[in-house]
Amino acid sequence: MVLLSFDIEEFDMPLEYKGEISFAEQLSISRNGLQEILVLLKKHSAKATFFSTVVFAENNKDLIGQLLNEGHELASHTWFHSKFEIEHLKKSREKLAGLFGTEVTGLRMPRMMKVDEKEVEKAGYSYNSSVNPTFLPGRYNNLKISRTYFKEGTVLQIPASVSPNFRLPLFWLSFHNFPVNFYIKLALVFLKKDNYLNIYFHPWEFAGIKDDKFKLPGFTVKNSGKEMVERFDDFLTYLNKKNYRFGTFQQFQKNLSL
């Protein structure tokens, strides 16, 4: 099973690099990218999981309703993308569920931030996909964490996919900076080894973010926008030809006998 997921949030990354972007533009860019994603997923009959902040969801109720109507899963990306308090775990899950009349069982912390797993369990989540089990300078060092799914208390932990030997990640930055054919070869290795693939992206990658005022590093904007749409289209086309099945995290969890 291929687990596609998207962290849908206010596009505040330029603020990390002292760039300029208004809140309205943060929402607009992510909205435009999400529309591109939904078109691609529908074209390829691929189901995905969307981890949304409450802020983004409240400002884009029509698109959240659309993705749910099209068979995708809604999960929590907490309340804000750049501000977190422990009570946001439960409040965001309940708010998203109430706004859209859907069961919210999954969590992904913004920027894969470390979180107290006991608090995640107390907040009512059944799975958490907040770990990239690799080393990313300045972000995290998770080399000692299992690179495949495992149980912690009652919560299923579903780390992002990395290679067995060198913990090479297949996350969004890899997709932008690796040649597509090389990325596909790695994906097939992971699928053969683990029998599933967990990869995550963001709507703003599919939108126009090559703006000098954002002050974003080249490796973050490479192959973004139109190029990202085309590369992702090719990726999904290949996986479909190989008859790989796309599923949501909830479906994946139901298939496990843990």
- Compute CA distances 64 → 67, 69, 123, 206, whole Å: 5, 9, 22, 17
With bands split at pLDDT 50, 70 and 90, how would you rate the model's confidence at 75? very high
What pLDDT score does 137 carry? 87
Count of CB atoms situated within 10 Å of the CB of 222: 13
Give the separation between CA 128 and CA 75, rounded to whole angstroms: 10
Contact 108, 5 (CB under 8 A): yes
Give the separation between CA 165 and CA 145, rounded to whole angstroms: 13
Percentage of residues in the chain having pLDDT higher than 70: 99
Q: Is 117 exposed, middle or buried (0-12, 13-18, 19+ CB in 10 A)?
A: middle
Contact 149, 157 (CB under 8 A): yes
Of the candidates 9, 11, 17, the one whose C-alpha atom is nearest the C-alpha of residue 213 is: 17
With bands split at pLDDT 50, 70 and 90, how would you rate the model's confidence at 42? very high
Length of the chain: 258
Contact 133, 162 (CB under 8 A): yes
With bands split at pLDDT 50, 70 and 90, how would you rate the model's confidence at 165? confident
pTM, full prediction: 0.96
The model's pLDDT over 81-134, given as tens digits with 9 standing for 90+, comes to 988 999 999 999 999 999 999 999 999 999 999 999 999 999 999 999 999 999
Two structure tokens written together for 140: 């995290």
